[in-house]
Structure formats: C-alpha cells, structure tokens
Amino acid sequence: MLLIDCPCCGVSGEETEFAPGGEAHIVRFGPGSSDAEFSSYLFDRKNPRGVHFERWRHAFGCGKWFHMARSTQTLEVFGVYKADVTTPPQDILDRVEAAKAEGRVK
C-alpha cells in the first residue's frame, strides 16, 4: 500500500485515504475538435511500465486533487505537486532523470 504525501494539506496518508484519478496533464478537447483529437482525449492513455505522472485526490482528507510522479514498476515516488499546473515542476523532472541515470526506471 502506497504512502502518499498530500501537497495541499501536508498529511502523509495510507493509499486508502486517497482516490486515484489516472494519467495527468491530459489536454481536454471539446466542440470543434477532430474525431482523432477527441478520441485521444477520451481514450488514449500511456499506461507506462516506468515513470507515470498521475492524478490523485485526497478523497478522505482535505478533498484536494494533486499530481504525483511515480514509477509504476518499483513504486518509487519522485514527488507530489499541486493540480493547478499543466507540466510537472523541474525539481521532480530532475529526480526522474536521476533515477533513469541510475537505471532504476526506464
């Protein structure tokens, strides 16, 4: 069971306190988009064996959504960050790169 730090309220909690929300940073396509764009928005997910940027909600805590960067392979957590950004912060990307350099993730 994952141990997750909520970046909004600062609490460390059991995974059961949180609800997963799938891949992060998906761009929404609405009216006017092509079938391909819309289908990709609705259905295409990376589902990687490795580094995953994903959404979580502190469902049984502060109720806030946030992002987590995690290895789906080793469950290593590279960091958590708030929901109101469209790209991961640089320090987390640096940690991911370091893990890749050390061969811990692909």
Partner 1 sequence: MSQSHRLETGGVLVDRTRQIKFLFDGKSYSGHPGDTLASALLANGVKLVNRSYKYHRPRGVVSSGPEEPNALVNLGNAGTHEPNIRMTQIELHDGLDATSQNRFPSLEADVGVLNAAASRFYPAGFYYKTFIHPRHAWKYFWEPVIRRIAGLGKAPTHADSAQYEHTYAFCDVLIAGGGVAGLIAAKAAGEAGARVILAEQTERLGGRLLVDDDAEIDGKSARVWLEETIAALEAMDNVTIRLRTCCSAAYDHNYCLLYERSGDRGEAAQVRHRLWRVRTGRVIAATGMIERPIAFNYNDLPGVMLASAVRDYVKLWGVSPGEKTVVYTTNDDGYRTALALAEAGCTVRAILDSRREPDGPLVGAARALGLEIRPNTGIGKAKAKRNKLASIETVDFDNPEAPGTTIECDCVAMSNGWSPVVHLYSHSGGKAMWDEEAVMYRPDPANPPRGRDAEAMVHVAGGAHGALTTDAVVAQAAAVAAEVLAELGMGGTAAVPDVSATAETPTHPVWVTPSAGKAALGGKHFLDFQNDVTVADVALAAREGYESVEHAKRYTTLGMATDQGKLSNINGHAILGKTLGKTMAEVGTTTFRPPYTPISFGSIAGRETGNLFKPVRETALHGWHAARGGDWEPVGDWRRPYRYQQGSEDRDTSIHRECLRVRNTVGVLDASTLGKIIVKGPDAAKFLDMMYTNMMSTLKPGKCRYGLMNNENGFLMDDGVVVRLDEETFLCHTTSGGADNIHGWFEEWLQTEWFDLKVYTANVTEQFTQIAVAGPKARDLLNSLDSDIDFNALPFMSMAEGTLAGCPVRAFRISFTGELSFEFATPVSFGLALWEVLHAKAEELGGGTYGTEAQHILRAEKGFVVIGDETDGTVTAHDVGMGWAVSKKKEDFIGKRAMERSDLTRPDRKQLVGLMTEDPTEVLPDGAHGVEGGKAIGHVTSTYFSPTLKRSIAMALINGGQGRFGEVIEVSTAKNKTARAVICDPVFYDKKGERQDV
Q: Does 9 bind partner 1 (CB under 8 A)?
A: no
To partner 1, the closest distance from the beta carbon of 9 in angstroms equals: 13
Asked if residue 103 binds partner 1 (CB under 8 A), the reply is no
SS3 103: coil
Q: Count Cβ neighbours within 10 Å for each residue of 34-67 and write b for 16 or more, e otherwise.
A: eeeeeeeeeeeeeeeebbbbbbbbbeeeeeebbb
Query: Which positions touch partner 1 (CB under 8 A)?
Result: 1-3, 14, 21, 28-33, 35, 38, 42, 55, 57, 59, 63-65, 74-77, 83-84, 99, 104
